[in-house]
Homo-oligomer: A and B are copies of this chain.
Amino acid sequence: MTTPGPLSLVPFISVDAMMRLVAETGVERFLAELAAYIEADFRRWPLFDKTPRVAAHAADGSIELMPTSDGALYAFKYVNGHPKNTREGRQTVCAFGMLADVATGYPLLLTEMTILTALRTAATSAMAAKYLAPKGAATMAIIGNGAQCEFQALAFKALLGIKAVRLYDIDSAATRKAARNLSLAGLSVTACRSAEEAVLGAEIVTTATADKARARILTDNMIGLGVHINAIGGDCPGKTELDPAILGRADVFVEYPPQTRIEGEIQQMPADFPVTELWRVVCGEAPGRGDAAAITLFDSVGFAIEDFAALRYLRDRIGADAARLDLVADPDDPRDLYGMLLRSGVAAAA
């Protein structure tokens, strides 16, 4: 075995290392710090290279690459979406990603992103809600109690001071799982028997269901004045959660309109349906919540800049003791790649 050269070693965050980092940091602090990085990158949104995600769609799901760059750093995420996966004990979504140096093209960090995506999705939701939710909101409903549910609740607790969550899922076992986890986190939890029951008294409603269908998780009569809806389950063509009548009554905020019009709730609406880009609200260029009676909707599908911010945060968090992968060939003479191979063969034979 040859000894990898110094340029060949790329810091690597495994699933286990990510879990330890989050556990050591504390989930709520991690979410709050992550949200600050995401907010900072929303503030400089116009300077990012925004490529639509590159998707391969198949019968049972999709595989996507999500690249972006700020000119100095480059990031991409590999992520799938296969709703049927949970029936075989797999994640609906699994992901990994990389941060790289634009000046050299060399990788700076390779990391699992299944857990990191769950965290950044929740952090983005809560960051958006700081600008869009009614002041002093204390109760949120979460409809769809799968893998994203607890992260949502804790991000809203950490960033907005949410005290109570009302949970509903068509699978009561999922609700029991989330209720158990969130009770331990100091939230007041109510398990509900219907979506109608869950939204009662909630100032914020998150929808995070997984089935790929044109669903009506929320119907028009369920949404009163002043509510903020955080819709994250409708995130690909043919997968929506909201009655279009709600969209007609709401002020709708999105990440990147060309992507959201294809993947988000607004795929149900005409191509010129008015939306506000969230980064403009964060920058103070557009109003967020109009008045106490407004219905606000963050039609979130997930965008590459959020992953970029998460990778940037992670890079600042890992220490010199991070594991490293022997991923980049590093011959003594960069033109002598073959010679490196030849010498390794001699070394192997010796």
Q: Could you list which residues of chain A lie within 8 angstroms of chain B, going by C-beta atoms? A: 1-2, 4, 7-8, 12, 14-16, 19-20, 22-24, 27, 49, 51, 54, 56, 58, 60-63, 65, 67, 69, 71, 74, 76, 78, 80-82, 85-86, 88-92, 94, 96, 98, 100, 102-107, 112, 114-115, 118, 145-147, 149-151, 174, 177, 181, 184, 325-331, 333-342, 344-345, 348-349
Q: How many copies does the complex hold?
A: 2
Give Cα distance in the complex from A335 to B210, angstroms. 11
**Which listed residue, B106, B177, B344, touches A94 by the CB 8 Å rule?**
B106
Give Cα distance in the complex from A259 to B286, angstroms. 40
| Contact in complex: B58, A71 (CB < 8 Å) | yes
Given contacts A1-B20, A54-B51, A344-B19, contact A339 B82 (CB under 8 A): no
| Contact in complex: A334, B112 (CB < 8 Å) | no
User: What are some 12 contacts across the A-B interface (CB < 8 A)?
Assistant: A2-B16, A14-B327, A20-B348, A61-B104, A63-B105, A80-B105, A91-B328, A94-B107, A112-B328, A114-B329, A147-B335, A184-B342
| Contact in complex: B74, A56 (CB < 8 Å) | yes
Q: In the assembled complex, which residues on chain B have CB atoms less than 8 Å from the CB atom of A146?
A: 335
Give Cα distance in the complex from A8 to B114, angstroms. 11
Give Cα distance in the complex from A40 to B107, angstroms. 32
| Contact in complex: B2, A326 (CB < 8 Å) | no
**Which listed residue, B15, B49, B334, touches A8 by the CB 8 Å rule?**
B15
